[in-house]
Amino acid sequence: MIRRLVPLAAVLALAVPLSAQAGTNATKLVGTVGPGFTITLKKGGQKIVSLPAGRYTITVTDKSAIHDFRLKGPGMNKVITGISFVGTKTVTVTLKRARYTYVCTPHASFMKGTVTVK
């Protein structure tokens, strides 16, 4: 009986870390807001215009206490960095087929960008 349990325990010990990693596959995006009146969202150093639907890890560097970085779209209105926050924050989101806007709320008339998720 013990001979059967040892191999089973070894298989389970390997399977748990693999299943935990499988759920963390997310494409990395980088956002920046400030220090002037700029806001960007990039992938691999290139400005994003469109993306395939899926999971994304967005790391935002907020360089000014007068800005925020908000991601808006169908069913989503996520403040990634708030006003008065200076630093870096990371979130993971699932983007569905739709148009999303990233925006600095206090300066929304001119600090914004859009991404079409296909």
| CATH number for 95 | 2.60.40.420
- CA atoms within 13 Å, Cβ hemisphere of 17: 4
Q: What is the pLDDT of residue 24?
A: 63
> What domain range is 56 assigned to?
25-117
Give CA separation, 34 vs 18, 30, 97, 101, 113, in Å: 39, 14, 28, 17, 14
Residue 40 lies in a domain: yes
- What is the pTM (predicted TM-score) of this model? 0.79
Residue 10 lies in a domain: no
Q: What is the pLDDT of residue 6?
A: 44
Polymer length in residues for the chain: 118
Residue 7 lies in a domain: no
Distance (Å, rounded) from C-alpha 108 to C-alpha 114?
Answer: 12
Residue 57 lies in a domain: yes
pLDDT tens digit sequence for 1-39? 555 544 544 444 444 444 344 446 899 999 999 999 999
pLDDT tens digit sequence for 42-89? 999 999 999 999 999 999 999 999 999 999 999 999 999 999 999 999
